[in-house]
Amino acid sequence: MRTSALGATLVTVLGLLGCGTTPTSPFNPDDGGLIDSSTPDDADIIFPDAGGDGGQGACKNLQCQQVTCGGGLTTSLSGTVVTGTLPKYGSPDPVYNAVVYVPNAPVDAFKPGIACDQCGAPASGSPLVVALTDAAGKFKLDNVPIGTNIPLVIQVGRWRRQVVIPNVAKCVDTPLTADVTRLPRNHNEGDIPHIAIASSTYDAEECILRKMGVDDAEFTAASGPGRIHIFHGTGTTLAGATDMSTLWSSVNTLSQYDIVQFPCYSVSPDPGGVPGQNLLAYANAGGRIFATDLSAPWFKSGPAPFPTTASWNASGFWSSVPTTIDQSFPKGKALAQWLQNIGATTTLGSIALQEAYGRTDAVLNGSTRWISATSQPPNVNFTYSFNTPVGAKPETQCGRAVYSSFHIANGQPGSGTTFPAECSATPLSAQEKVMEFLLLDIASCIQVDTTPPIPPPN
């Protein structure tokens, strides 16, 4: 669903990047639904007449296996999209706003590097039928092609897994298990966003991704093959990890990553200078920035127009504070419902935050408030987001940033540790689940927050 290339200043970045995680070959129904680059003729199995009419008039490929059912019936697939969380960390959480579709052509590999990914753009593979998951992660696809080895794509931004359904029966619903519709745990199972994390003593955000099911082998230094690259900040390190300053030292380096995470105190001493300008260029071209607590200077003291996205007049610290989820926009309403669905709160739209700090007291310039103080202290916002370029017309906005002023990762003291020693053995806390939701949201396509999620066309 990427719709445009980088701006002129970033064009040279693409030539510096490595290959994507998904081979360009299509589905191989003989290997459990994964892509198999060693079998280049797999297209002949699932798409036997690609480019033709399938021998049935105007229909093409799997379109020729769609049937009309009488009595108000339909051929459907249903299920729940979930994270890849392993049993030792509890049950996997449902994934909101995931795109689920049956492709009618081979699905292309993602082009490496950032690009403008806007909601409502066509998805790769010429989808026949498309659905979005709700706040419970549930979906239902109607008018699905019947027969054997029907391909299915589950996608949230550059999280993407492609599976093959062995058999779809005519005019009934075929329910799918969560193991079929979960997100990938490693790059052999599917696509995982390329993420950079500047490690923090206070917020071990890498542990959230780990508890979401990402395999340890995917966490490497920038020189390694993993999809999650750790840069050494004040927190954990691993073999070969470079200092976090190398991450923001150039636009080219930043632009290798779909998402960059700056947990508490992972910030340049000069956020308004070259590092901040690099981050601004990265975001404007389609990059995603996820920052917390003492990494606020990226926005508060960063280059214009970052400081104009919020009013930075709040102060204070609360070991525990009741907060309200803003339900005035569709995704905020979904977050409130999602937290209640998974048992993170018993009261719709409310959650208690731990170790929360006052930083912003208003959102400005098109930003979106997600979480704020319920009563005391008044007018303190704890999470907000904005699309980039800031102030641009929605149809030209390509990137996104999220800032939260509370510690989110329930880990061990991270300074001087080697990944994954800093990660606790407990499941995600309610507070971490908020960030899980927002991490998946920031990975998704870009649209105006005031409108309901927009699916790709079919």
Per residue in 134-150, pLDDT (tens digit) is: 999 999 999 999 999 99
Please determine, for residue 433, whether its predicted confidence score (pLDDT) is greater than 50.
Answer: yes
Token pair listed for 132 = 């979005």
Task: Give the CATH number, domain containing residue 29.
Answer: 2.60.40.10
Q: What is the pLDDT of residue 447?
A: 96
Query: Which residues, including other chains, have CB under 8 Å from residue 265's CB and lie 6 or more apart?
Result: 200, 201, 202, 233, 234, 293, 294, 295
**212 assigned to some structural domain:** no
% of the chain surpassing 90 pLDDT:
82
**68 assigned to some structural domain:** yes
Q: What is the pLDDT of residue 41?
A: 36
- The Cα angle at residue 2 between residues 189 and 160, in degrees rounded to 5: 15
How do residues 35-71 score in pLDDT, each as one tens digit?
333 333 333 345 554 444 444 458 999 999 999 999 9
Token pair listed for 8 = 């002129």
Q: List the domain range (segments joined by +) for residue 163.
A: 2-181
**20 assigned to some structural domain:** yes
Q: What is the pLDDT of residue 194?
A: 98
Average pLDDT of the residues in 312-339? 95
CB atoms within 10 A of CB 399: 24
Q: What is the pLDDT of residue 7?
A: 35
- Number of folded domains in the chain? 1
How do residues 154-211 score in pLDDT, each as one tens digit?
999 999 999 999 999 999 999 999 999 999 999 999 999 999 999 998 889 999 999 9
Residue with the two structure tokens 């593979």: 125
**340 assigned to some structural domain:** no
**73 assigned to some structural domain:** yes
Are 258 and 229 contacting, i.e. CB atoms less than 8 angstroms apart?
Answer: no
Please determine, for residue 289, whether its predicted confidence score (pLDDT) is greater than 50.
Answer: yes
The one-letter amino acid at 274: V
**119 assigned to some structural domain:** yes
**30 assigned to some structural domain:** yes
pTM as predicted:
0.89
Q: What is the separation, in whole angstroms, between the first and last Cα of the chain? A: 12
**458 assigned to some structural domain:** no
How do residues 88-134 score in pLDDT, each as one tens digit?
999 999 999 999 999 999 999 999 999 999 999 999 999 999 999 99
